Amino acid sequence: MPSIAAGSPINEKIIDDHLAVQAIIRSYQARGHLAADVDPLGITTANLPQLGMRGPSSELIMRKYFNFDEADMDRVFKLPSTTFIGEKEKALPLREILNRLEQAYCNNIGIEFMFINSLEQCNWIRQRIEPPNVGKMSNDQKRLILARLTRSAGFENFLAKKWSSEKRFGLEGCEILIPAMKQVIDVSTRLGVESIIMGMPHRGRLNVVANVCRKPLHQLFTQFAALEAEDDGSGDVKYHLGTYIERLNRVTNKNIRLAVCANPSHLEAVDPVVQGKCRAEQFYRGDNEGKKVMSLLLHGDAAFAGQGVVFETMHLSDLPAYTTHGTIHIVVNNQIGFTTDPRHSRSSAYCTDVARVVNAPIFHVNGDNPEAVMHVCNVAAEWRATFHKDVVIDIVSYRRNGHNEIDEPMFTQPLMYQKIHNTKPVLEKYADQLISEGVVTAAEAKDVKDKYEKICEDAYTQAKQETHIKFKDWLDSPWSGFFEGKDPLKMSPTGVVEETLVHIGKRFSSPPPNAAEFEIHKGLLRILKARMAMVENRQVDWALGEAMAFGSLLKEGIHVRLSGEDVERGTFSHRHHVLHHQKVDKATYCSLCHLYPDQAPYTVCNSSLSEYAVLGFEVGYSMTNPNALVLWEAQFGDFNNCAQCIIDQFICSGQAKWVRQSGLVLLLPHGMEGMGPEHSSARPERFLQMCADDPDYMPPESPDYEVRQLHDCNWIVANCSTPASYFHILRRQIALPFRKPLILMTPKSLLRHPEAKSSFDEMKDGSSFRRVIPDDGAASQDPKSVRKLSFCTGRVYYDLLKHRREKGLEKDIAIVRVEQISPFPYDLIKAEIEKYPNANIVWSQEEHKNSGYWGYVEPRFRTLLQNQKTVRVKPQSGNWFTKLFGREEKPVSDEAEPVPRTISYHGRATAAAPATGSKAAHNKELRNLLEEFCVL
């Protein structure tokens, strides 16, 4: 037998046994969570049948599998460097090794972390989980847990007593959530966090607002009263509302700012919104490492596994322009989704498996062990502060009532609810435990409960004295000082002095200062040269107009952020805001970041290939500070419906529901250019259908007509036909004394169209956004002779213009461009209609009749034309009737009969798809459209 250097023979059994012990330790670390006792009801098992047994059984499995018998249990084994169960001891008996591993990994905490590809991070977790008594709480800590648990349970009991038939989506069964959140906040505050942005579903929301944020209880109780609102808006149900509180954290004696974002019933939709708001707050604070601002997201088990936006949002976590430097996720895992069992709602063992893709450690913990929950919360908060990465706390609990308080769960989960009805609430269990340990007396526990009930009763009495509900009390993103001292209907000018336009244009058209060392693609050099030539000719195309809008705002101290798929270059290779060195990887240059020494920061960032999460992120970003222009560009406008939930629930109705303004801009490439049904339409009809203005009401004209319309609308929908219009409408977003979302159909072919250019004269000081652009050609010289007045919007104007020119009908047809569709510019359109009294009025669009703008503009034109009439032209003497029959018809009186004016449709017929996939069919449709346009 070979020997080692010292000359002693090798004992292969000793080596094999030590290797077996190492394998046992690793098995517990990797798979101990499968045998952990984390279900307070004791009714679920892991997906693997062979590890379905609980408690000590896993220890027996290990002994049997690795061939250890009772005689081996007292043998001492050296511990490997990958475990910390020994603390300072280097070796332990096998019995003690198994016992400590059981306590660490198979008790009331199950941990998934061995998939993390960092030894440092894995060892960090082991150090905080494996040592004996590592999670032991002091008596003071236990009393604090009991007090917080008492408040959590007491709040739900009080609501159940006062409003027994009201839906409130209570927390009964997972009351430990409140102490858990407060523990996360305590530890995070101690480690330097000053602001926490939270997002959560409806379950337990009122309790979180009351006991975590410490919202005044009387304001919360007022939401149960059937009172009218003091503010404008339609409001929302109480378990959707947000809040914002700054208060002293009594445990750490530090100030903390807490915000709960308002959200719809669409589960998990608020996740990216919270991340965007968090990122924005980090940006404005200069918190580049996320040490002062963090996000905390709550989830339900079914939604966390089922909603795709969770995955989309998770994948933003490490992207440079989207990271929030670690989010703490808490899953309220009541082991049911409305009426659906976990086995029918997910295909994976755990609802949290989605988090594994970003290397987030996952802590499963029994919700009926408050001290285990607190320990996990401590570790999670410290993890986030140390590594600035996501972490998940899965609080396994149950739902004592149905989906809501009036729902009957026994219909679908009879066995589960029999078990729940026989399970003592966690407060009773924990109070009994502390009483038996001598930490508190029964009288002390009752005193804590009675004191909180009195607080609730006093607030209830105060709430009954309220006469109105105040939506503004529930604002989650207050803009301090923004609205104060402003005329709400006065807009700042959007024109810019020519010197600024020239400066920005030349910088944007120039290579980097170190151009000799920075090698640019030859094609880009040609583009820069062409841009410089335009600047020298006092002209701008679309990309140059956009750059001048951004640059002038940056000069004024307005932060600009442009986000979306491929926005740095632009889908259509027109923007090129980021230049890339052709020989050096990651060497880039952005001219808009170097316009002025004291300019505001400019951020342009390619996003992940996601619409839902990224648009939600930018919504959250725009909520944080009104003095920023935040834009999201779809790769094609067609893809905006992947983010339909964000558009419908947050952007369209956010102000009406939650008194929360946003100036977010959606750039949606749109145009029927033969590219098929998925690359043609941003679906403007959908945005217009959701505009809140009344089609049967024309607002009275006034000097502030334009701004008043904008103030009253829920969002702005526009389709600009010139770079100057685009320039002004972007700057107008900041010039307004309030904020409204802007839905902008943007061009594709017009980006390089030779006629789609604007002069500096249309952008310089004194110019402004033109909601309607009149015809300034031959038709306007003799308007009474014009036979057709065509209103249109967007790129179709250039097709109509070209065809009118080819047919020589410049004097017969007037073309008026409506740049802003909604709010509908009644005043300017009325003036155009009156200018051409004898013309037939048509709305021309390239979209199909059931798409585009016709459904929106037609009833508004009808309202406008109600009192508009034209004079029928009387026939000339000696007409065709006289020539044929030798006598004149009865003469028409000088007072010809007035005829009511109407508007007719000109465009493609109805269709199910937005566009044809056939190039030949597209060209035929376009020819027909243009030929019909020229029929007088």
* Residues 85, 97 contacting (CB under 8 angstroms): yes
Rounded to whole angstroms, how far apart are CA atoms 129 and 32? 12
Rounded to whole angstroms, how far apart are CA atoms 506 and 591? 10
Amino acid at 849: K
pLDDT at position 29:
96
Domains of the chain, earliest start first: 12-108 (1.10.287.1150), 139-399+431-469 (3.40.50.970), 498-762 (3.40.50.12470), 786-811+823-933 (3.40.50.11610)
Please list the residues that pair with 628 across neighbouring strands. Answer: 559
pLDDT at position 164:
82
- By C-alpha distance, which of 164, 142, 169, 334 is closest to 238? 169
| Beta carbons within 8 Å of 782's beta carbon, 6+ residues apart | 811
Please list the residues that pair with 196 across neighbouring strands. Answer: 258, 294
* Residues 645, 610 contacting (CB under 8 angstroms): no
* Residues 502, 777 contacting (CB under 8 angstroms): no
Q: In 10 A of CB 129, how many CB atoms?
A: 24
What are the Cα distances from residue 46, in Å, to 52, 56, 108, 210, 343? 6, 15, 14, 36, 11
Strand order in the sheet with 362-366: 109-112, 362-366, 391-396, 327-333, 293-300, 195-199, 254-260, 243-249
Report residue 362: phi and psi, to 5°: -125, 125
Coil, helix or strand for 892?
A: coil
* Residues 733, 629 contacting (CB under 8 angstroms): yes
User: What DSSP designation does 769 have?
Assistant: -
Report residue 773: phi and psi, to 5°: -110, 110
| Beta carbons within 8 Å of 605's beta carbon, 6+ residues apart | 320, 321, 322, 561, 562, 563, 567, 568
* Residues 322, 279 contacting (CB under 8 angstroms): yes
* Residues 161, 167 contacting (CB under 8 angstroms): no
Amino acid at 870: T
Angle, vertex CA 662, rays to CA 188 and CA 202, nearest 5:
55
Rounded to whole angstroms, how far apart are CA atoms 154 and 210? 11
What are the Cα distances from residue 65, in Å, to 21, 58, 72? 11, 10, 14
pLDDT at position 9:
65
Report residue 542: phi and psi, to 5°: -65, -50
* Residues 775, 800 contacting (CB under 8 angstroms): no
CA-atom Rg of the chain in angstroms: 34
pLDDT at position 54:
45
Q: Model's pTM, two decimal places?
A: 0.93
What is the block-wise mean pLDDT of the chain (936 residues), using blocks of 10 residues? 52 88 94 92 59 55 80 92 93 94 95 97 97 94 97 93 84 94 98 97 92 92 81 74 91 94 93 98 97 97 94 97 98 84 82 96 97 98 98 94 75 83 93 96 96 95 86 85 88 97 97 88 95 98 98 98 97 96 94 97 97 98 97 96 96 92 97 94 97 95 95 97 98 97 97 96 97 97 97 97 96 98 97 96 97 98 86 49 48 62 96 96 95 93
What sign does the CA torsion over 135, 137, 142, 145 have? negative
Rounded to whole angstroms, how far apart are CA atoms 304 and 784? 65
HEC assignment per residue over 186-255: HHHHHCCCCEEEEECCCCCHHHHHHHHCCCCHHHHHHCCCCCCECCCCCCCCHHHCCEEEEEEECCCCEE
Amino acid at 156: E
Structure tokens at 454: 């009195």
* Residues 482, 626 contacting (CB under 8 angstroms): yes
Element (H, E) at 842: strand 840-848
- By C-alpha distance, which of 934, 914, 751 is closest to 922? 914
Rounded to whole angstroms, how far apart are CA atoms 888 and 549? 65
pLDDT at position 832:
97
Q: In 10 A of CB 468, how many CB atoms?
A: 12
Element (H, E) at 540: strand 539-540
How far from chain centre, in Å, is Cα 785?
A: 53
Rounded to whole angstroms, how far apart are CA atoms 571 and 565? 8
* Residues 37, 366 contacting (CB under 8 angstroms): yes
Rounded to whole angstroms, how far apart are CA atoms 851 and 684? 7
pLDDT at position 898:
78
User: What DSSP designation does 469 have?
Assistant: B
Structure tokens at 66: 């690795």
- By C-alpha distance, which of 766, 690, 694 is closest to 728? 766
